[in-house]
Structure 1
């Protein structure tokens, strides 16, 4: 890690919001749903799918959960109305998980049921380890009736994830596999980047062996290489998996993946509650700030 990246990762939680906004503006569609629609149309024209997410999590009251539930339904309706090649991502804490588990589940149930009626799909995001058991329980409860319309995220840096894959292999499986972004204790999560990468490859192969549909969520070209090797090894057709990337991150790799014949979905977040998301992303990937500084000051080159 360069000195600049180290300083960014250690100080990002203390950098004023407006400055974070300068760094993050390329990675968020904008404050409104129509911004996400505009970005999705641009990506669809390039043969790229999206998943749309309204930012906001760890809410303070159940009125907020109702608000986010209705906004998620609005997103699904808008996708249908606009004819977008897109689906929805949501966070359980956004639906009230930390306030009332039953209310949160019922909110997600209503959204997933609406998605099924529209022929669409909902990805239940994974948050920190305090949410993992409940999030997996939600998915297990929904996946039978709503097969093909709901999936969940699993994180490669968590030590428990291989067992979670095994436990979920008794039914339909639709996963997004990512490295993981929350700052977890060592007892829960691997800290070494090499081990996290090895865990990602190991878990991805286990998912393929179990017949899961996998959204392979990574910007690490080493992992893209390993994933394509496994896709070839298991003879997977392009309807059995997809690659996934964040908006604004390594667009060249994005084009390489699409031009190689793979399907790709880009995560398109929008909303006014952008600061916590942006800080986590900058902490995870300080290169975002490096690229933003280059653009801001007109600096070119790779060093």
Structure 2
């Protein structure tokens, strides 16, 4: 990691919000759903799919959870009305998981049922490790009731992920596979980036071997290379998997993947509560900050 990347990673939680905003503005669609619709249209015109997410964390009341549930239903209706090639991502804690597990499940179930009525899809995002068991439980229940309309996320930095795959292989599987961004204790999460990458490749092979539909979520070209090797090994057709990337990150690699004929989906977040998301992303990938500085000051090159 270069010096600038190191400094961004270590100091991001202490940088004032307006400065973080300068770094993050290319990676968030904007404050309103209209902004996400505009960006999604632009992506669709480039033969790129989207998943739309309304930002918001640390809710403390059920009324807030109901608000976000209504916004998620609004997003699904807007996708349908606008004819977008997009689906919805949501966070269990945004639906009230830390307040009342049954209440959160009912909220998510209502959203997934609405997605099914529109022939759309909901991705239940994975958060930090205290949420993992409940999130996978929600997914298991909902995939039985709404097959083909719901998926969730697995994280390769967690030691448990291969076991989770095998436990969930008793039914249809639809997962986004990513590295993971939360600061977890070593006893449950790998800390060595090399091992995280190896576990990503190992987990992806387990998924493909079990004929899962996988959103291969990475900006790491080494992992893209491994994914393409495994896709060929297990004879996957191009409508049986997709790559996934964050908005504004390594658009050159994104275009290479799309130009080769692979499906690719971009995560399009929007909302006024952008600061926690931006801090996490900059901490996870300081290259975002480096790229933003180049754009800000008109610097080109590597």
- For the aligned pair, the TM-score class normalised by the smaller chain equals over 0.9
C-alpha separation in 1, matches of 2:168 and 2:250? 32
- Equivalent residue, structure 2, for 1:229: 229
Q: C-alpha displacement at 1:26, in angstroms?
A: 0.1
Give yes or no for contact 1:154–1:178 (8 Å, CA) kept in 2. Answer: yes
C-alpha separation in 1, matches of 2:255 and 2:103? 41
- Equivalent residue, structure 2, for 1:246: 246
Q: C-alpha displacement at 1:77, in angstroms?
A: 0.1
- Alignment of 1:21 onto 2:21: yes
Query: Secondary structure, in 3 states, of the residue corresponding to 1:87?
Result: strand
Query: Secondary structure, in 3 states, of the residue corresponding to 2:215?
Result: strand
- Equivalent residue, structure 1, for 2:261: 261
Structure 1 stretches of 4+ with a deviation exceeding 3 A read: none
- Equivalent residue, structure 2, for 1:165: 165
- Deviations 1:7-45 (CA, angstroms, capped at 9, x unpaired): 110000000000000000000000000000000000000
- Alignment of 1:153 onto 2:153: yes
C-alpha separation in 2, matches of 1:117 and 1:273? 29
Give yes or no for contact 1:178–1:216 (8 Å, CA) kept in 2. Answer: yes
Give yes or no for contact 1:56–1:273 (8 Å, CA) kept in 2. Answer: yes
Q: C-alpha displacement at 1:145, in angstroms?
A: 1.5
Structure 2: tracts of 5 or more residues without a match: none
C-alpha separation in 2, matches of 1:273 and 1:188? 29
- Deviations 1:231-275 (CA, angstroms, capped at 9, x unpaired): 011110011100000000000000000011100000000000000
C-alpha separation in 1, matches of 2:216 and 2:290? 25
- Equivalent residue, structure 2, for 1:218: 218
Query: Secondary structure, in 3 states, of the residue corresponding to 1:53?
Result: strand
- Equivalent residue, structure 2, for 1:194: 194
- Equivalent residue, structure 1, for 2:280: 280
Structure 1: tracts of 5 or more residues without a match: none
- Equivalent residue, structure 1, for 2:181: 181
- Equivalent residue, structure 1, for 2:12: 12
C-alpha separation in 1, matches of 2:263 and 2:225? 15
Query: Secondary structure, in 3 states, of the residue corresponding to 1:144?
Result: helix
Query: Secondary structure, in 3 states, of the residue corresponding to 2:145?
Result: coil
C-alpha separation in 1, matches of 2:67 and 2:255? 36
Q: C-alpha displacement at 1:58, in angstroms?
A: 2.6
C-alpha separation in 1, matches of 2:52 and 2:123? 10
RMSD: 0.5
- Deviations 1:81-136 (CA, angstroms, capped at 9, x unpaired): 00000000000000000000010000000000000000000000000001000000
Query: Secondary structure, in 3 states, of the residue corresponding to 1:214?
Result: strand
C-alpha separation in 1, matches of 2:146 and 2:260? 32
- Deviations 1:278-302 (CA, angstroms, capped at 9, x unpaired): 0000000001111111111111111
Query: Secondary structure, in 3 states, of the residue corresponding to 1:112?
Result: helix
Query: Secondary structure, in 3 states, of the residue corresponding to 1:88?
Result: strand
C-alpha separation in 1, matches of 2:64 and 2:18? 25
Give yes or no for contact 1:128–1:182 (8 Å, CA) kept in 2. Answer: yes
C-alpha separation in 2, matches of 1:81 and 1:297? 39
TM-score normalised over the length of structure 1: 0.99
Equivalences, count: 302
Give yes or no for contact 1:58–1:96 (8 Å, CA) kept in 2. Answer: no
User: Any residues of structure 2 matched to 1:108-147 within 5 Å, and which?
Assistant: 108-147=108-147
C-alpha separation in 2, matches of 1:101 and 1:116? 22
- Deviations 1:143-195 (CA, angstroms, capped at 9, x unpaired): 01111100000001000000000000011110000000001110111010100
